[in-house]
Each structure stands twice: as C-alpha cells, then as structure tokens.
Amino acid sequence: MKRKLSRREFVIDNSRIGLGAMIPVAFPEMAKTKESRDAAKSSNIENIKNEVILQGRRNNQAWFEPAVGIIPGHANGLPQVFVRATLLTGDDIGPQLYLKTDDLGKSWSNPVLCQNWYKIPLEEDVFEEPWFGFFYHTQSKTFLALGATHFVQDVGKYNGGIHKKEKHYRATGLNRGIVYSLWDPVRSDFTPWKRLRLPEDLFLGIYQNGQFHENKDGSMLIPGYYYDQGPYSKVTVLRCNFNGSDLEFIEHGNLHIIEESRGLHEPSVVNFKGRYYMTIRHDLRAYITSSDDGLHYNDPKVWHFDDGEELGNYNTQQKWLKHNDTLYLIYNRKSDLNNGVFRSRAPLFIAEVDAENLVVRKNTERIIFPEQGARMGNFNVVNVRDKESWVVTGEWLQGKFEHSKEGQRFWIGWEDVNYLQYIGDLLLARITFK
C-alpha cells in the first residue's frame, strides 16, 4: 500500500495525478468504522469509484461548480453526457466551458468555450454573463442549458492595475435574468441565449445549478428566488412551459423565508413516489420541505439524521439522487474528517432519505469523495443508466490548515481560512448499484 502523505506533503505536491486526463484517483483509504460497515450492509450502493475528468492540480487550474446533464439513447444505446464547469480566475468567477462524452467517460471532448454564451458589456467595465445548468426536456426531446445571468466588473487593479481582474458587481437597477440556450445537434453547438419573459412587476430568479423536474404534461418545475427589497433571500418554485424552442413562464409557488443571516438559497427539487421534495441551503444549516403539487410547499424544517442529530450541513448546497425505490441526499457536513477544509466542504457524503419522516438514515451514510485539502461543496448529479449514477464536483484548495503559516505562499490571514489557492481537479464519482 502506498504511504499516506501528510497534509503538508499533499498540498505541496499538487502533481499527485499527473499521468493523464482520465485515470482513477488513488485516494487514501478511509478507516472503516462500525458505522461504515453497517452502511455497506444496508445500502443499495455496490461501489463508488473516483476518477479525474480534467486535471487542475497538475495544470495550475481550478474547475468549479460543475453542471451535468444527459441526452438519453444517443449512440449505441448510451447517453451523451455533458459537463459544464467554471475555470476559476477569481472568487466564483471565470469562463464557462463545457465538454461531453459519448462512451460513458472512456473519452472526453476538449473543453469548449461556447461563443453563444456571450457576455453583454455595460458601462464602467461591467458585464452581464450567463451561468448555466443542464436539463433534458423529455416531451420535446430537447437538451437545454438553463440558468441565470449575473454581473461582473473588471476592476483592473491586480498587479498595479496592469492585469485583468474581475469581481462580482451589484447595483440598483441591475436585475439578474432567467436565460436559456438550446443544444443544436446538427451544428454541435448551443444556440445564442435568450431571456425568459416575466411580468413587469415580478422579479424572479432561478438557481442555475439546481435540480429541476418535468411534469407529465411537459411543464417544468424550476426552483428559484423571489426578489424584493428585503434583507433575506426567499425561495420559490417556478412553473414554465417549453415547446421545444421557447420557455414560457406560467406561475410560481408559495414563498419561503428564514429571517436569519442571508435567508435561503440554492434550492433543488425532486419527485419521489408522487410527492415533491425540496432541499435548501442556509448559512447556518440545511432545510427540507415537501409538497403535493410541486409548487406549494410546507414550512421548511431543519435537516436531521434519524437519531435526532442535526445533519451538520451549513452554507453549502445539497443535492438529490433517486434510484429505483430509494431516495438519497448528497451533502457535506461538520465531522472529524473535515481536517480544516473551508465550510466543512469535504468529504462529500451520500445517505438514504426517509421520505416519510424527512430525515437522513444515518447508518446508510457513505463517502463519495474523501477529503483531500480542497473544498468540494459545489457539485451535481445525473443518472446515466439503470445501475449507474454520476456525481461531478470541482476542487478548490481552501481551508484552515496547520501547515499554513504567515509569510508562506498562499497564506491568508482570515479567521476561518489561512490557505487559499485556486487549483483543483474536475472529479467524477461513479456510483453503481446492486
């Protein structure tokens, strides 16, 4: 067995995976506790295998907040799988590139910077740009990039003002739009993005990397936001029609708010056994709610394990995975395995959900990606075939680590972070089921 590297050795030696662009990751073996052995017995998960899609540690890059989607039955009965990721150039900022595979990840296309996902230049070096997730609309057999715009400003103050530097930008009168772009299989490219039209007095947004749902009538349930002048972010669900070319807003559901910290963020919805569930991010904890119709949800409650302990997820998204008759939640949480990673965003866990009682079954918890000195709290999920699902995440070296001291490279003097480096791989976990 290979010697397990110390944290200092690991972070310094960022070339631990330098043999190719698509190879299995030799993660250190995790200690097998009684809980993990019990989970293996009770879970329907047979195996979890980690791979690298894009090299970031080796190439001094960071691939962030990936989206993933499929076009089913593309060739030889296999789906065509798309991944969109941000190539970080700053704090949550960078160009959006996509890549795809036709052979379930045996080979990948090169990352593409789509010229139809363009920015719109505004005054004072401000730019409006789209952020996209992916969704396959079954009724129209159309693959969509669906998301929202945000604003960045080139402040031009890096290295004495001679180098480009972008930052997030907000100002009164600048409203984010809901946008979409369609995959054109003939041109093998996405179409120029368009805006969803909303009533003039209604300001809604969506979480571009959330999980959406298509109803039997072809209408779409899209979790998002209700914008007003209040200090707390509100979440809701939009219902839209799609005819194969245009997205049309119909209505939105009830509003949900937690009047604490910044409010609620990054909702994802799933339909499971005829009922709808929504998991929601909050700065201090994670929330869960359910609905009969997918639009009107009960008051959110804090996520807990089935033994009464709070889940421990905070200021980080969660996602659903549905396989046959089992519903899973994928999440980060506070644990002894965090080892200083920012916001406890490693390891990444998966566990079964008791959908009737809205709790996580603790003894089914397993690790998808172990902790490797990088935050992995931005990820997405897709079912690629009957017994295989994928989780795709990006890394970003950030945390409070013992090895990081003032005066060393990448040292940061923050209360909760003392090391920050924009490098990390784009990772794939293949989850196979029994």
The string of DSSP codes covering 110-136 is: PPB--TTS--EE-GGGEEEEEEEEEEE
Which pLDDT value is given to residue 418? 93
Which pLDDT value is given to residue 76? 83
Average pLDDT score over residue span 329-333: 98
Average pLDDT score over residue span 344-358: 97
Burial zone of 60 (CB within 10 Å; 0-12 exposed, 13-18 middle, 19+ buried): exposed
- Three-class DSSP category at 175: coil
Greater pLDDT, 8 or 270: 270
Average pLDDT score over residue span 17-31: 36
Given a cut of 80, whether residue 14 has pLDDT beyond it is no
Residue where the block lists tokens 């990673």: 341
Assigned token pair, 264 = 């609620």
- Three-class DSSP category at 183: strand
Q: Is the dihedral of CA 176, 182, 183, 188 positive or negative?
A: negative
Greater pLDDT, 22 or 297: 297
pTM, full prediction: 0.90
C-alpha span between 57 and 14 (Å, rounded)? 5
Which pLDDT value is given to residue 70? 97
In sequence order, the 6+-apart residues with CB closer than 8 A to the CB of 398 are 341, 342, 374, 375, 417, 419, 420, 421
What does the pLDDT look like over 217-244, one tens digit per residue? 999 999 999 998 889 999 999 999 999 9
Which pLDDT value is given to residue 75? 75
Instruction: Residue 428: count other Cβ atoms within 10 Å of its Cβ.
Output: 25
pLDDT band at 150 (very low <50, low <70, confident <90, very high): very high
Given a cut of 80, whether residue 18 has pLDDT beyond it is no
Given a cut of 60, whether residue 24 has pLDDT beyond it is no
pLDDT band at 28 (very low <50, low <70, confident <90, very high): very low
**For residue 239, what is the DSSP state?**
E
Which pLDDT value is given to residue 158? 65
What does the pLDDT look like over 131-147, one tens digit per residue? 999 999 999 999 999 99
Amino acid at site 290:
S
In sequence order, the 6+-apart residues with CB closer than 8 A to the CB of 16 are 5, 10, 26, 57
pLDDT band at 164 (very low <50, low <70, confident <90, very high): confident
Which pLDDT value is given to residue 140? 98
Least-confidence region, from 71-85, 272-286, 329-343: 71-85
Which pLDDT value is given to residue 231? 92
What does the pLDDT look like over 397-412, one tens digit per residue? 999 999 999 999 999 9
Which pLDDT value is given to residue 12? 36
C-alpha span between 169 and 157 (Å, rounded)? 15
